[in-house]
Chains A and B, each alone.
Chain A
Amino acid sequence: MMEWALILGFIAAGIRTASPLLLASLGETVVQRGGILNLGIEGAMLMGAFSGFMGAYLTGNLWVGLLTSIIAGVLTVLIFGFLVIRINLDQVVSGLAINLLAMGLCLYFFRIAFSQGAFPYLGDLIGPYAIPGLSQIPVLGEVLFNQTVFVYIGLIAVPLIYFLIFKTSFGLRLRSIGEDPVVASYLGINVSRIRYLSLIIEGALVGMAGGLLTISMFNVFDSRIVAARGFVAVSIVILGRWNPWGALGGSLLFGFTEALSLWIGTFLVGPAAPSVSLLLRMLPYVVTILALLVGGRKVRGPAALGSPFSKE
């Protein structure tokens, strides 16, 4: 009986750990379908995490933190959008620049807001919310319907984004831009507008993914808090073949790997061998590389992904 609860708890933890990756990779899937490779997602998540923390800390309301993280995410991604769409800068370089910018901004404002040596933390976190009724279902209720709001949003977003990409006219245009923006513009499609719209969607999802880290997972902010989750999300997009359902699968794979590494570290290795459990923390990244080696070969993404486009 005890073991059963442990396993259910592990699965629930895996899903919870997957949720920031899911939100971020869904957002990245949308923009990549439109031909934009946004590596600035790491920085956007960091901005989301910082703003979420600040919003919640200053107002004492976690939901305000959620809102500010979304706003910060959208703004950061729009700056990236401005660089690559309007000024037509290289996408990879712009993405990396955004990451550096975000890091600098967060460190700066954090230092301004709090005196050196201070250790601000949130008194509360957005915890699991048991959905009345559904959470009573045995097994399923425990792992799926007793989760945080972020898990629910992520799971609902999967079919919604799928619908958006594959079943709407917007999605058709978006995909055509990802294949060939020049041709799309010849057909009268407003490439910039659609790309900006896709970036706004990504910004909201990625900002939320970042905010989740500070207002729902850890109750403190640290500039290293994102810990390459943004980059992992980018590889999940490739692994998931630019499909929201694939992103779900990929996120779960990584979520479980991460949960597993913590679990083994805590229960099997224990505090006796801290170096081993630290080594185990690398597991998700090793899995990233392995998964890309196995599943990332011979996949065909949007043909114009990452290439610049300017009118005339």
Chain B
Amino acid sequence: MPLSPIFFKKTKFEVEKVSNASTESDSVTRSDHSIFVRGIRKTYPNGVVANQDVTFSILRGEVHALLGENGAGKTTLVKILSGCLTPDSGEILVNGRSVRIEDPIKAVKLGIGMVHQHFTLIPTFTVAENIALSLSLSGRLNLDAVKGKIKEVSKNLTLEIDPDARIEQLPVGLRQRVEILRLLCQDVDILILDEPTSVLTPLEVEELFKTIRRLKSKGRSVIIITHKVKEALAISDRITIMRGGRVVKTLPTISTNEAELAALVVEGFASSLRVDRGKPGEPVLMVKNLSVKGKRGEMAVKGVDLVLHAGEILGIAGVAGNGQKELVEALTGLRRIESGTSLLKTCDLTNRPPKFIIRKGVSYIPEDRIRRGVVLSMSVSENLALKNFEEQPFSKNMVINRESIDRYASDLISKFGIRASDPCATVSSLSGGNIGKLVVARELSNGANIVVAEQPTAGLDVKASEAVHQKLMELRSKGVAALLISADLDEIIKLSDRIVVMYGGKFVGEFTHDSLDIQKLARLMLGSA
């Protein structure tokens, strides 16, 4: 019997008992918990203790938000619940029974499924093929049956999707929907979503939340990890905060507020960001009539004009997939420019190789940090020096000077608060948010005069996000120009001196910070003026 949210909000007593981890007694009706874990500890092979003495529970029909700084151990915990990692010690109860979750298949059998921070879809496969992949079918592949199942499940929850669409042709929001559908096709009761909103536009987030509410109304439970306190407040019934591998507190959503949560997430955090405006100077980047083709050969950018001034942050607002990505790739030399020009002061950047563009002082924070931003198997310090290791003092006479690279790295690690066990740790051992911090640290510290920032704070915790915003403004006051592309409209509005709206490969509107009309901006983003 699914527990209605109203019911458990009333039983505050029980909820508090659960949250009070250390004095937990067995008298709590365990069968009410879909999952109940106690004393979980996880040490990674490199010795990092990512979870210790973690006690956590999720009720039937509950939406439970998991908050915490980068590297707090959130992903580790949910990976344990979904069978991707095995804990060193601790007890896991599912529906009151003690279980061992050896692998993801076992987890799914127990009704637990997870949508990873980095999607686990095969891009060249269709929706149906991807879903078939995890249904442990055998023998002849019956895709029609799979499609039938998808139709049934998606109709039940009004999650529209074309089963024959190829994943690589779907926007992020829909890919996420496929991930969720896949779990539902496997009859999962407890869905774990690891930072599902970090790359979604506000509209897509709203859509996702609708889905979560519908799931909840059908008695399913959802664990959602997020860095946005507002989101946790909007969607969850209870909130658990983690710090340094431990659970700090679990509390019911109705009894808390944004400031309290922020202070719990980052100990004693209080926003100290002073937002100021820039004083735009000379034009530095002049883009004329730029046209760029997309992945499938379609015109993705259709004759865009853009002028970026020194000491200015220019925000590009738009729903993902309207040419922002191709525009950025063209400017950074990663994609061919079909026609038009890109000029840095007097220097022509059109169709020059990335290295040339980097040397001219254009730095780039890519949205896909893992594939574009770092070399996973190399160390943190090597990654931090990746773009200028050829220069003095990092190397001399073509010989790399390790010491100076390590010193530089240690400096950036402390400045940007990157949580790494040491500068020589491989990047693959960092948490998602810390990989993000690393990329941002490198790109904002190499003396660039233009910064192209794609979702610079996606996946970063409040403190780190603020630090990045602070840094961007600091650079701006020194005359650096920035192009900010973000799904987070709040971020764009907060930082930008000027905002252009991109729709269908064109700029369809422009606002200065003072003349901003949010209603109009939102309409323009959707293509209706």
Interface residues of A (CB under 8 A from B): 167-173, 175-176, 179-180, 183-184, 186-189, 300, 303, 312
Contacts and interface: CB of A to CB of B under 8 A. Distances in A.
Nearest to B114: A186
A168 B104 contact: no
B140 interface: yes
A183 B139 CA distance: 22
Contacts of A180: 122
Given A172-B133, A173-B133, A186 B120 contact: yes
26 contacts: A168-B139, A168-B140, A169-B138, A169-B139, A169-B141, A170-B138, A172-B133, A172-B141, A173-B133, A175-B125, A176-B133, A179-B122, A179-B124, A179-B125, A183-B120, A184-B122, A186-B104, A186-B116, A187-B133, A188-B104, A188-B105, A188-B108, A188-B134, A188-B136, A303-B124, A312-B45
Contact of A169 (B45, B108, B137): B137
B132 A187 contact: no
A173 B138 CA distance: 10
B84 interface: yes
Interface of B: 45, 84, 103-105, 108, 116, 120-125, 129, 132-134, 136-141
A187 B120 contact: yes
Contacts of A183: 120-122
Nearest to B84: A186
A194 to B, nearest CB: 12
Contacts of A169: 132, 137-141
A195 B84 CA distance: 21
A189 B133 contact: yes
A34 B196 CA distance: 30
Contact of A167 (B103, B136, B140): B140
A188 B103 contact: yes
Question: What's the dominant secondary structure at chain A's contact region?
Answer: helix
Nearest to B108: A188
B123 A172 contact: no
Contacts of A312: 45
Contacts of A184: 122, 133
A175 B126 CA distance: 12
A171 B133 CA distance: 10
A183 B130 CA distance: 11
Top 7 closest pairs, chain A to chain B, by CB: A188-B105, A169-B137, A183-B120, A179-B122, A188-B104, A187-B134, A186-B120
Contacts of B122: 175-176, 179-180, 183-184
Question: What's the dominant secondary structure at chain B's contact region?
Answer: loop
Contacts of B133: 172-173, 176, 184, 187, 189
A171 B108 CA distance: 22
Nearest to A180: B122
Nearest to B119: A183
A187 B104 contact: yes
A194 B133 CA distance: 14
A170 B140 CA distance: 8
Given A176-B125, A303-B123, 4 more contacts: A169-B138, A173-B133, A186-B120, A187-B120
Contacts of B136: 188
Contacts of A173: 133
Contacts of B125: 175-176, 179
A21 B124 CA distance: 28
A183 B118 CA distance: 10
Q: Among the interface residues A179, A180, A188, which one has the most CB atoms of the partner chain B within 10 A? A: A188
Q: Among the interface residues B108, B116, B129, B134, which one has the most CB atoms of the partner chain A within 10 A? A: B134
Q: Among the interface residues A171, A179, A187, which one has the most CB atoms of the partner chain B within 10 A? A: A187
Contacts of B124: 179, 300, 303
A168 B137 CA distance: 9
A245 B123 CA distance: 24
A179 B134 contact: no
Contact of A168 (B103, B105, B121, B141): B141
A187 B129 CA distance: 13
A170 B139 CA distance: 7
Q: Among the interface residues B103, B129, B133, B134, which one has the most CB atoms of the partner chain A within 10 A? A: B133
A267 B139 CA distance: 51
Nearest to A308: B377
Nearest to A173: B133
Nearest to A300: B124
Contacts of B137: 169
B104 A172 contact: no
A167 B132 CA distance: 12
A171 B104 CA distance: 21
B103 to A, nearest CB: 6
Contacts of B108: 188
A173 B140 CA distance: 12
Contacts of A176: 122, 125, 133
A71 B108 CA distance: 40
A244 B140 CA distance: 18
Nearest to B136: A188
Contacts of B45: 312
Contacts of A188: 103-105, 108, 134, 136
Nearest to A169: B137
A184 B136 CA distance: 12
Contacts of B104: 186-188
Contacts of B139: 168-169
A280 to B, nearest CB: 41
Contacts of B140: 167-169
Contacts of A300: 124
A105 B121 CA distance: 44
Nearest to A179: B122
B132 A172 contact: yes
Contact of B141 (A171, A179, A186, A187): A171
Contacts of A172: 129, 132-133, 141
B119 to A, nearest CB: 8
A303 B105 CA distance: 25
B428 to A, nearest CB: 10
Contacts of A179: 122-125
A167 B141 CA distance: 5
